[in-house]
Structure 1
Amino acid sequence: MDFYGKTALVTGASRGIGRAIAHALAHQGMGRILLVARDAQRLAMVAAEVEHLGAEAIILPVDLTDPIQANVVIARAWQHYGPVHLLVNCAGVAYQTPFLQAKLPQVQSEISTNLIGLYTVTRLVARRMAVRQEGCIVNVSSLMGKVAAPTMATYSATKFAIVGFTQALRSELAPHHVRVVALLPSLTDTDMVKGFDWFRGVQPSTPEQVAAALVRGLKQGQTEILVGWQSHATVWAQRLAPWLVESMIQLLAPGKPVPPRQRPVRST
């Protein structure tokens, strides 16, 4: 994919992986980056960073779980700033809770943001890309969209759904010359996982490593972009010996609470 002079729209851009992706796209010569998230103040900070890297930055504070609000904001942005060549759906939330203790508001929050929000913005942008017969859509799933994790049941379910949605959309939009890609990071050291009990033996990626993997994958024409050797090894093991992977997950799953000093200090 040629990034130079193009326009990207990145959701969840105020922090973590979304922020790192905005930086990486600016480094690649992206001309304009539309930054989408709920927090206008944080978006303004990221916009200043992006412009320092040479790209024009436009902040779009919006709650993507509100379809009407999202529709208005995206339509106006397209009208005022021209067509979007690259959409990166990065907005997401996660709660780590055993299923039997999960609270419905948390479940609804994960589904609303991770699925409904993603679907809403994708629908708005994909229709316009199809008319123009060009574009690329990146849906940020997770390694948990391939291998589900205990204590993350709803999050895993939404990430599995994103992988399926991406596969279906890839076939549907191919005749319109719109490319659809899934990005599958493993555990990433961000605000979102601050305070989580990590799986034993898992080495977290940084947001910058995830962003770099995305850029490489888009340049290489990949349809599913895994991040890090552990992700590749896990997916291959899941294909060849799913029973072994399930046993390993049960063995490495969080048990006793992790002391505060061992928890992530960075957040997404």
Structure 2
Amino acid sequence: MNLKTKTVLVTGASRGIGKAITLQLAKRGVQRLVLVSRNRQKLAEVASEIDYLDVEVTTLAVDLTQSVATTIAISQAWRNYGPIDILINCAGVAHQAPFLESKIPKMQEEVSLNLMGMFTIVRLIAKRMATQKSGVIVNVSSLMGKVAAPTMATYSATKFAIVGFSQALRVELAPHNIKVVALLPSLTKTDMIANLKLFRWVIPMTPESVAKSLIIGLSRDSSEILVGWQSHLAIWCQRIFPWLWERILLMAAP
């Protein structure tokens, strides 16, 4: 894929994996970046980091859980800056607690941003991509979208849903020449996990390694990009020895 002629919209671009993907795309010489996040100041900081590169950057401070505001902002961006060639959905939030101790507002926040926020922006942009008969949509799930994690039940549920959503959308949008990709990193060292209790034996990967894996996966036309050897090991263990995997999870869980 030739990124140098592409306009890419990245949600959750102010931090973590979204920021790393943004920086990687800028270094690869994309034509234009449209960066979306709730935090206007951090978006400006990311834009300043790539100011030395020959990339057009537009920042949109948007809360994706607010569908009306999102619709207005994306419609204006499409009109002002031209078609979006690639949409990368990184915005997300994670809370950790045993499910019986989970707080309803935090569970609602995970579902609202991780799922409904993604549905809103994908629907907006996919309709326009279908009209132009081209586009790529990348939905960032997680290893927890394949292997559920205790103390992360709601988060795991949203990530499983993203994998299923991507699979269904991939078939629906194929006649419109739109590719749908699911990115599944394992635990990644971002500020989002700063307050999480880590699972035993899990080595967090860097956002930069996730971003590079995405670029490689796009070049190979992959439909699912599973990142990290730990992810592959966990999935194979679950498939072949499910009873063993449950015992490992029990021992590894915080």
CA contact (8 A) 1:23 1:53 kept: no
Q: Determine helix, strand or coil for the equivalent of 1:148.
A: coil
Task: For structure 1, list consecutive stretches of 5 or more residues without a partner in the other structure.
Answer: 255-268
Confirm or deny: 8 A CA contact 1:183 1:225 kept in the other structure: yes
**Cα distance, 1:118 vs. partner?**
0.4
Q: Name the SS for the 1:147 alignment partner.
A: coil
Is the contact made by 1:50 and 1:56 (CA closer than 8 Å) also made in structure 2? no
So what's the TM-score if we normalise by structure 2?
0.98
Counterpart amino acid of residue 220 in structure 1: R
Deviations 1:113-169 (A, max 9, x none): 000000000000000001111000000000000000000000000000000000000
Specify the alignment match of 2:114 in structure 1: 114
Q: Deviation per CA, 1:56-93, whole angstroms, max 9, x where unpaired?
A: 11000001001100000000000000000100000000
Once residues 22 and 156 of structure 1 are traced to their aligned partners in structure 2, the CA distance between those partners, rounded to angstroms, is 25
CA distance in 1, matches of 2:116, 2:48: 29
> How many residues are paired up?
254
Give distance in 2, aligned partners of 1:52 and 1:161: 38
Find the counterpart in structure 2 of residue 93 from structure 1.
Answer: 93
Q: Scaled by the length of structure 1, what TM-score is found?
A: 0.93
Equivalent residue, structure 1, for 2:23 = 23
Deviation at 1:233, TM superposition (A): 1.2
CA shift for structure 1 position 36: 0.1
Q: Which residue of 1 aligns with 2:175?
A: 175
Match status 1:79 vs 2:103: no
Aligned-pair distance for 1:196?
A: 1.1
1:251 Cα deviation from its structure 2 partner: 1.2
Q: How does 1:95-244 map to 2 (within 5 A)?
A: 95-244=95-244
Q: Which residue of 2 aligns with 1:11?
A: 11
Work out the CA distance in 1 between the residues paired with 2:246 and 2:53. Answer: 44
Once residues 180 and 50 of structure 2 are traced to their aligned partners in structure 1, the CA distance between those partners, rounded to angstroms, is 25
Range with greater deviation from structure 2 (49-58 or 216-225): 49-58
Which AA in structure 2 matches 1:103?
Answer: K
Displacement of 1:5 in angstroms is 2.2
The one-letter code matched in structure 1 to 2:222 is: Q
1:37: which partner in 2?
Answer: 37
What amino acid sits opposite 1:118 in the alignment?
M
Aligned partners of 1:53, 1:184: CA distance in 2, in Å? Answer: 28
User: Cα distance, 1:41 vs. partner?
Assistant: 0.5
Q: Is 1:69 aligned to residue 39 of structure 2?
A: no
Q: Is the 8 A contact 1:12 1:92 kept in 2?
A: yes
| Displacement of 1:50 | 2.5
Query: 1:248 & 1:53 partners in 2: Cα distance?
Result: 46
**How big is the shift at 1:49?**
1.4
- 5+ residue gaps, structure 2, are none
Q: CA deviation at 1:242?
A: 2.1
> What SS is found at the alignment partner of 2:236?
helix
Give RMSD over aligned pairs: 0.8
Q: Deviations over 1:228-268 (max 9, x none)?
A: 111111112222222222221111111xxxxxxxxxxxxxx
CA distance in 2, matches of 1:133, 1:21: 25
